[in-house]
Amino acid sequence: MADTWQETIYRQREELANLLHQPLAQLAAQCVAAWCDRENLNQILLTGFADIPHCTYLYVLDLNGVQVCDNISRDGLLPGHFGRDRSQRPYMREAVPAWGFLLSDAYISQLAHRPSLTALHVIRSQNNKPLGYLGADFDLRNLPVTAAHYEEPGHWRQIKGDPSIRSTVFQQTRAESPMDRNMDQAFSILEELLTERGMFQGVIHFSSSRATAWFVDDPFRYRILDHEALADPDICLVYPCRPYPADALIPKSAIVPILQGMRELRLADEVIYLRSASINIFNGMISLTFSCDGSHYMRYDEFLEKNMAFWLGSVA
């Protein structure tokens, strides 16, 4: 089973903490002898900066979150931060664990306005009394991605939409669109594009009679097929023939049943009807957004298992 994005983040943070903890602990220990000496603290951080991987800024704070030295960066000393009160910054509001090291949650930095995080290590005196904190800021752009590539989970998800639409759903009826009047032709064209012409992802907008399509020959750009294109089989000549991808999770034989199921959901009821639907043959997922503004994301085989009675009883 694929990890959730929260689990992926947890593993990434765990590996970053393992990478940063030891060098920050060693540098924090060096700060004890120079405590309350701005110039000496600056020099210690300047010397130790290269030992903290991927760091943007280093600094030292007292227990109240007030900076007692200047900022240190890869470019050297950055004056102007001595005496800065960081007590209200997000990382100062998190509890430092008992072992004295904190890797904060990500936040938006004040200077660059970019996603960042901060590592804090407690600085303790010779008799183990806490004196303050060594702080290290990191721009998320500079941190390595140590966790495995995140994959979207394949389990069924239902997402509720705009409450104002849901509350008035029974006061509206489906208005017939040009695509509705030409559904068989439009879906034959989409079948050809998906199975023979390299289309791997598409969003079908029934109410506005268009489809947004992505093709394997140019996957970073989408094409918009309006109702005129979806009524003209000549549109298929625009896209060269391509073999159906061997690594697609949706088998070629399932394309027609999927499109047929979407067609039925669009036309089965005048109140609860399909507004838009998407298909991606590589991740094996489809989505359905209904007139009540509720959306479903599911594997193609789950979709094919359901009948009209299920859908018309669950989407309101």
Cα torsion angle, 20, 26, 27, 32, sign? positive
In whole angstroms, give the CA distance from residue 314 to residue 252: 28
Same domain as 185, residue 137: no
Range of the domain at 46: 5-142
Res 259 pLDDT > 50: yes
Asked if 241 and 249 touch (Cβ cutoff 8 Å), the reply is no
Computed over every residue of the chain, the mean pLDDT equals: 87
Looking at per-residue pLDDT, the higher value among 111 and 29 belongs to 29
Say whether both 176 and 252 belong to one domain: yes
Q: Tally DSSP H helices, then E strands, for the chain.
A: 8, 14
Is 308 in the same domain as 192?
yes
Position 263 in a domain: yes
pLDDT at 78 over 60: yes
Do 235 and 184 lie in one domain? The reply is yes
Q: Where are the alpha helices (DSSP H) in 32-127?
A: 38-48
Give pTM, 2 decimals: 0.68
**CA 156/CA 146 separation, integer angstroms:** 28
**What is the identity of the amino acid at 71?**
N
pLDDT of residue 309: 73
In this prediction, residue 13 has a pLDDT band, given cuts at 50, 70 and 90, of confident
Beta strands in 63-171 (DSSP E): 71-73, 76-78, 101-103, 107-108, 115-124, 130-139, 157-159
Confidence (pLDDT) at 156? 54
Residue 151 lies in a domain: no
Q: Of the residues 104, 119, 142, which one is the last residue of a structural domain?
A: 142
- Look at residue 83 in the predicted model and tell me its pLDDT: 94
User: Does position 37 have pLDDT exceeding 60, yes or no?
Assistant: yes
CATH number of 14's domain: 3.30.450.20
Cβ of 119: how many Cβ atoms within 10 Å? Answer: 25
Query: How confident is the model over 114-162, as pLDDT tens digits?
Result: 999 999 999 999 899 999 999 999 998 888 775 555 455 556 565 554 4
Residues 127 and 161 in one domain: no
Domain total for the chain?
2
Q: Which of 150-154, 158-162, 163-167, 246-250 has the least mean pLDDT?
A: 163-167
Q: Are residues 50 and 185 in the same domain?
A: no
Compute the C-alpha angle 54/122/30, nearest 5°.
75
Residues 99 and 171 occupy one common structural domain:
no
Asked if residue 184 and residue 291 are part of one domain, the reply reads yes
In a domain, 20, yes or no: yes
Q: Is the distance from CB of 67 to CB of 61 less than 8 angstroms?
A: yes
Task: Give domain status of residue 147, yes or no.
Answer: no
Within 32-106, residue ranges assigned H as helices are 38-48
CB 92 within 8 A of CB 79: no
Do 161 and 307 lie in one domain? The reply is: yes
Task: Give the highest mean pLDDT range of 143-147, 178-182, 253-257.
Answer: 253-257
Token pair for residue 249? 């999770």
